C-alpha cells in the first residue's frame, strides 16, 4: 500500500503505507485478475488489473488502476483506467473517471458530447458488522444531434452485513460482506440490481455477486490471481 505522506525515513514511510488503505493494495505494480461467470456457471469475461501509477502528496495518495477486459474467448473487449484516492481513513474510487475513460473511448470518433457529474464510492478503513456506508451516484448526459439522453446510476443502501470465509483459486480469505443496491435510470425507466461484495484486508475485492430484482443470481465474479 502507498504512503499517505512521503517521509524521508523508510521505516516511517512503511508504517504510513500500512495505515493509508487497509483493504486496497495501492502499491505500484500490484496485479489482480477477476473471472466472471453467469448463473449457469459458464465463463463470461476476465478482467486483468494493475496498479499502474501511484502519486503521493501531503493531502494523500492517488493510484491509477488500469484494466483489460476480455470476453469468454480471450478477446480483448476494452482497456481503460480509473483513480483511487487514499486519505488515511479510507479510500475513494473515482466513479466519474471510471465511467469517463470507458465512455470517451467509445464516443471519441463520434460527434457526441458526454457530461458527467456525481460522487465517489467511499470505503472506510474501519468496517464493522451492521455499519451503513455512504451512497454513491453518477449522472451521465449524452448530447447528440440536438438530443439529450440522461442516465443516472445510484449505488445505495450500502451496508456491512457479516464476516465470511471465502476460498478461490487465488487463496482463502476472511472477508466482510457488503450489500448494496444499484439503481439505474435511463430515459426515466428505473431498474434495480442488488449485489454483494466480499472484501478482505490487503487485497480488496475477493468476490462479487449480482442479482436480479427478485433476488435470483445473475453473475459471480471472483479473484483468480493476485500478485503484489
Position with higher pLDDT, 102 vs 35? 35
Domain boundaries, the chain: 10-227
Mean pLDDT value of segment 96-111: 57
- The chain-wide mean pLDDT, for the chain, equals 83
pLDDT for position 71 = 93
Q: How confident is the model at residue 4 (pLDDT cuts 50, 70, 90)?
A: very low
Q: How confident is the model at residue 1 (pLDDT cuts 50, 70, 90)?
A: very low
Please say if the pLDDT value at position 131 is more than 80.
yes
pLDDT for position 108 = 55
pLDDT for position 43 = 96
pLDDT for position 106 = 57
Dihedral angle of Cα 10, 49, 107, 139, to the nearest 10 degrees: -70
Q: Which range is least confidently modeled, 6-20, 50-64, 96-110, 152-166?
A: 6-20
DSSP character string of the chain: ---SS--SSHHHHHHHHHHH-SSS---TT-EEEEEEEETTS-EEEEEEEEEEEEEEETTEEEEEEEEEEEETTS-EEEEEEEEEEE-SSEEEE-HHHHHHHHHHHHHTTTT-EEEEEE-PEEEES---TT-B---EEEEEEEEETTEEEEEEEEEEEEEEEEEEEEEETTEEEEEEEEEEEEEEEETTEEEEEEEEEEEETTTEEEEEEEE-TTS-EEEEEEEEEEE-
Please say if the pLDDT value at position 2 is more than 70.
no
pLDDT digits (tens, 9 = 90+) for 200-221: 999 999 999 999 988 999 999 9
Q: How confident is the model at residue 97 (pLDDT cuts 50, 70, 90)?
A: low
Please say if the pLDDT value at position 145 is more than 80.
no
Mean pLDDT value of segment 174-195: 90
Position with higher pLDDT, 19 vs 34? 34
CATH of 10-227, one of 3.40.50.12160, 2.40.360.20, 3.30.420.10, 2.60.40.1220: 2.40.360.20
Amino acid at each position: 500500500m502507498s504512503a499517505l505522506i512521503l517521509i524521508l525515513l523508510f521505516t516511517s514511510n512503511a508504517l504510513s503505507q500500512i495505515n493509508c488503505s487497509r483493504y486496497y493494495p495501492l502499491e505500484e505494480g500490484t496485479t489482480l485478475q477477476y473471472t466472471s461467470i453467469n448463473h449457469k456457471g459458464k465463463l463470461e469475461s476476465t478482467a486483468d488489473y494493475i496498479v499502474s501509477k501511484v502519486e503521493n502528496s501531503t493531502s494523500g495518495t492517488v493510484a491509477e488502476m488500469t484494466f483489460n477486459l476480455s470476453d469468454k474467448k480471450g478477446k480483448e473487449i476494452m482497456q481503460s483506467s480509473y483513480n483511487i484516492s487514499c486519505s488515511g481513513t479510507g479510500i475513494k474510487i473515482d466513479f466519474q473517471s471510471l465511467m469517463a475513460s470507458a465512455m470517451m473511448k467509445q464516443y471519441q470518433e463520434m460527434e457526441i458530447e458526454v457530461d458527467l457529474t456525481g460522487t465517489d464510492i467511499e470505503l472506510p478503513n474501519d468496517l464493522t458488522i451492521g455499519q451503513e456506508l455512504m451512497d454513491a451516484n453518477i449522472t451521465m448526459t449524452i448530447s447528440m444531434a440536438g438530443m439529450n439522453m440522461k442516465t443516472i446510476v445510484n449505488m445505495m443502501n450500502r451496508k456491512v452485513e457479516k464476516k465470511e470465509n471465502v476460498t478461490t483459486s487465488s487463496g482463502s480469505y476472511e472477508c466482510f460482506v457488503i450489500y448494496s443496491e444499484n439503481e439505474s435510470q435511463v430515459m426515466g425507466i428505473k431498474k434495480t440490481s442488488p449485489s454483494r461484495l466480499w472484501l478482505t484486508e490487503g487485497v480488496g475485492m475477493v468476490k462479487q455477486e449480482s442479482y436480479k430484482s427478485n433476488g435470483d443470481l445473475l453473475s459471480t465474479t471472483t479473484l483468480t490471481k493476485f500478485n503484489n
